[in-house]
Amino acid sequence: MGEDTAQSDGPASKGPTSKGPAGTSPASRTGPPPRLPVLLDAVLSVGSELELRTTLQHIVDTAADLTDARYGALGVVDPERGRLTELFTAGLTEAVRERIGALPDGRTGLIGALIHDPRPLRLADLTADPRSSGVPPGHPPMRSFLGVPIRVHTEVFGNLYLTEKRSGPFTEEDLALLRVLASQAGIAIGNARLYETARRRERWIEGAAAVTTSLLTGDTAADALMTVAERARLLADAAAGVVLQPTEAGGMEIVAASAPDDPADFVGTAIEPGSPVLVQLLSGEPVFIEDSATDPRMTTHVRTRFGPSMMLPLQSGGKLIGTLALPRRRGGLPYSAVDRLLAAQFASQAALALVLADAQHNRERLAVYEDRDRIARDLHDLVVQRLFATEMMLESTRRRATKAAADDTDELLTRAVDELDSTIQEVRTAIFALQQPPADAPTTLRGRVLRETDGAGALLGFRPSVRFEGAVDALVGDDTRLLAALRTALATAHRRPGITSVAVTVDATATLPGGRSGVRLTVTDDGLRDDGTPGGETVWQEPL
């Protein structure tokens, strides 16, 4: 355009009119070429946005306006896969896009040619080029073609494609203008990518901090894993977030799952030993998958729902806690290198938080156990010893009392001794219960009896008193029948109206009819019997 102006003006004249007041030539006083302001406006406008997707759409719209093209497209190239991941268009209505269907992925045709050989390309008739592979049904007819790569630093970010110039074929001037615009677009895209990466990194860091805070505030193990799965799914824009843990059989099983719809069928899904992907997972290596539904390494029944996926190890200090899997829907965008990096960092932080939370929980449980042991020792060393001493004093007093005094006080002293003896047995039972880990299943007869009475206490509204006589754990072998009789007796007592107390006695020193040694279970209560009389008693006994 500047050359045309220079040719029309001819050589510079030596007359007085050849110079202006500032000494400029007449050609320069004619002003800039008419398309230069448009280019300057375009260059300034493409750098005015920081949001990446808005910037890309603005670039393709500006390129179409600058070259007077009817249609335009900007394809984002995935350098790892050598194909398009996104295509931003100009000039195509929504109705046309629906008729076209799936947009090209850049593997073939002129779009693919520009990806594999990123150099400017200008064609008067693209249909005559042997690299053209035709257009899909419903696509508008196109002839003239102009394409240039967009580079961000030294990396090819994508390509600009323009077709159907309204005033004829594309010119060298159009190509020059588009190259300038593509150069400035590369700078704008670089800035937008940096801004977007910073924002995404900030979100992932905030997510990791939120997970750490949640885990250290006392969540259970199941809630902690669910927190990790749900937060990771939202941050990665995934269709699901699942946590897998190793199984005793050598496989891996989904133990927590988060998804917008019902993920109930996820939990319990297992990767069986021998699966190709399992070796990498158990060794703590990340696994990245293009399409879960077709990848032969995937063997679970839920894989058919998903496309791109990444599976990240949850490990800390060389210890593998599990695996965090983040699959996207079929046809979803593949994970970029930045996505993988940020998710891997999140997984490392989440694994550390899980370890710290588990350690904190163990410390809290240890503190509880230590406190229970202290209480048990205090009860044994102080209360039981004093009660026993008092019992001995009362027993001695009763024996030394005069005949007359004994007639009056013997009954009272005997009752006091019996009450103290019963109290000592109750305290010893409480000591034994305190020494049992609250979350563990009891392994002794004493523990099982206490578990049964505690369960009955939830129904009765009060806890039955329990007394043991003799070394029940050492003397009683099979306790199945005794426990069954205890359950039956407690259930019978619960059905009696007006019940306010239940006493359970397990005596391993009992003498059974015939003089044999045995174990006797006695359950008494103060409820009303069927005949209206108060008090009930159930006795079960068996030889040792």
Let me know if residue 525 belongs to a domain.
Answer: yes
Query: Of 156, 180, 197, which one is at a domain's C-terminal end?
Result: 197
Give the torsion sign (CA, 438, 441, 444, 446).
positive
Report pLDDT for 22: 40
Report the relative pairing of strands 319-329 and 306-316 from DSSP bridges.
antiparallel
Q: What is the tally of structural domains in the chain?
A: 3
Let me know if residue 408 belongs to a domain.
Answer: no
Look at residue 165 and give its three-state secondary structure: strand
190 in the same domain as 43? yes
**Phi then psi for 36, rounded to 5 degrees?**
-65, -45
- Distance (Å, whole) CA 385 – CA 503: 23
Let me know if residue 109 belongs to a domain.
Answer: yes
Q: Which two tokens stand for residue 122?
A: 């200008």
503 in the same domain as 449? yes
190 in the same domain as 234? no
Report pLDDT for 17: 38
β-strand partners of 523: 504, 538
143 in the same domain as 44? yes
Alpha helices in 167-265 (DSSP H): 172-215, 221-236
Query: Of 349, 375, 393, which one is at a domain's C-terminal end?
Result: 349
Let me know if residue 42 belongs to a domain.
Answer: yes
Let me know if residue 463 belongs to a domain.
Answer: yes
158 in the same domain as 86? yes
Per-residue b or e along 195-223, where b marks 16 or more CB atoms closer than 10 Å to that residue's CB: ebeeeeeeebeebbeebbebbeeebeeee
Closest among 111, 97, 224 to 159, alpha carbons compared: 111
**Do the Cβ atoms of 277 and 297 come closer than 8 Å?**
yes
Structural domain that includes position 164: 33-197
Q: Which two tokens stand for residue 11?
A: 């050589």
Alpha helices in 401-479 (DSSP H): 403-434, 445-460, 472-475
Let me know if residue 335 belongs to a domain.
Answer: yes
Q: Which two tokens stand for residue 247?
A: 């199984």
> What CA–CA distances, in Å, run from 77 to 88, 187, 514?
12, 16, 95
β-strand partners of 468: 506
175 in the same domain as 318? no
pLDDT, one tens digit for every residue, the chain (544 residues): 333 333 333 333 333 333 333 444 444 444 445 666 777 776 776 766 678 888 888 888 888 988 889 999 888 887 777 777 788 888 888 877 777 766 676 666 777 777 888 889 898 888 888 777 756 666 788 888 999 998 888 888 888 989 999 888 899 988 988 888 888 888 888 888 888 888 888 988 888 888 877 777 766 667 778 888 888 899 888 988 888 888 887 888 888 888 887 666 788 888 878 777 888 887 878 888 888 888 888 877 778 888 899 998 888 777 788 889 899 988 888 888 888 899 888 888 888 877 776 666 666 666 666 666 666 666 666 566 667 777 677 777 766 665 555 555 666 666 666 666 666 666 666 665 555 555 555 667 888 888 888 878 877 888 888 888 888 888 887 777 888 888 888 888 887 888 888 899 998 888 888 888 888 999 998 888 777 777 778 888 888 7
Closest among 384, 378, 416, 422 to 398, alpha carbons compared: 416
124 in the same domain as 251? no
Let me know if residue 214 belongs to a domain.
Answer: no
268 in the same domain as 342? yes
Query: Of 349, 382, 406, which one is at a domain's C-terminal end?
Result: 349
What angle (nearest 5°) sits at the alpha carbon of residue 441, between those of residues 359 and 444?
A: 125
Report the relative pairing of strands 83-90 and 69-78 from DSSP bridges.
antiparallel
Alpha helices in 71-169 (DSSP H): 94-100, 109-116
Give the position of tokens 């174990």. 519
Look at residue 422 and give its three-state secondary structure: helix
Supply the angle between the helices 403-434 and 445-460 in degrees, to the nearest 10.
90
Residue 119 has a CB neighbour count (10 Å cut-off) of 9
Let me know if residue 401 belongs to a domain.
Answer: no
* Domain CATH number, residue 145: 3.30.450.40
Q: Which helix (H) or strand (E) covers residue 526, if one does?
A: strand 517-528
243 in the same domain as 192? no
146 in the same domain as 42? yes
By CB neighbour count within 10 A (0-12 exposed, 13-18 middle, 19+ buried), where does 540 fall?
middle
**Do the Cβ atoms of 25 and 19 come closer than 8 Å?**
yes
Name the DSSP class of 305. Answer: G
Contacts with 113 (C-beta within 8 Å, 6 or more apart), sequence order = 121, 131
468 in the same domain as 341? no
Q: Which two tokens stand for residue 40?
A: 């300057």
User: What is the rounded end-to-end Cα distance, in angstroms, of the chain?
Assistant: 114
